[in-house]
């Protein structure tokens, strides 16, 4: 299973804003840090805000904050909210003759549920608290100051 770029960017935005620990982040800052198109990022941020994962502040000193505590944001939940189709294989599009009782489809669906269940065991706070992520994001405050 491969997640869409939209979901990837959504997770990156949440990581970035979560790492800022209450400091307002701008879309331009996030776009520059990750090398993401500002226009594409705008769509991601809009959906995250609409779903309550982000809170946007308007005005001259506006920007983005987490809409919930990082420990209340489950990774699998975000993926389900951002992905349009989580099926591993689209048997309908293939007009597969094995439907409707294909054992392979049943197992692939089970594996997909296990994937999401495993991700739902982790929160944004868990990922942000890891040493690896802390090392990765060392320069965020510096990036904002420039």
CATH of the domain spanning 5-86+123-145: 1.10.10.10
**Residues 54-107 pLDDT 10s:** 999 888 878 999 999 999 999 999 999 999 889 888 887 777 888 888 899 889
At 107 the pLDDT is: 93
Residues 117-141: what's their mean pLDDT? 88
Give the residue with greater pLDDT, 11 vs 106: 11
Residues 15-42: what's their mean pLDDT? 93
Q: In angstroms, rounded to a whole number, what is the distance separating the alpha carbons of residues 76 and 95?
A: 29
Q: Which helix (H) or strand (E) holds 55?
A: strand 54-57
Answer yes or no: is pLDDT of 48 > 60: yes
Helix ranges (DSSP H) in the chain: 5-19, 27-34, 38-50, 75-82, 91-94, 103-120, 124-128, 131-136, 140-145
Mean per-residue pLDDT over the chain, rounded: 90
Residues 26-40: what's their mean pLDDT? 94
């Amino acid at each position: 299973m491969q997640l869409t770029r939209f979901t990837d960017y959504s997770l990156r935005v949440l990581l970035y804003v979560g790492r800022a620990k209450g400091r307002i982040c701008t879309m331009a800052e996030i776009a520059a840090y990750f090398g993401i198109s500002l226009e594409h990022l705008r769509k991601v941020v809009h959906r995250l805000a609409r779903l309550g994962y982000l809170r946007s502040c308007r005005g001259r000193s506006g920007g983005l904050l987490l809409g919930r505590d990082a420990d209340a944001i489950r990774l699998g939940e975000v993926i389900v909210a951002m992905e349009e189709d989580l099926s591993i294989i689209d048997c309908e599009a293939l007009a597969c003759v094995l439907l409707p009782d294909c054992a392979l489809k049943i197992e692939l669906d089970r594996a997909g549920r296990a994937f999401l269940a495993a991700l739902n065991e982790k929160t944004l706070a868990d990922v942000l608290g890891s040493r690896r992520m802390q090392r990765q994001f060392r320069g965020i405050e510096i990036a904002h100051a420039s």
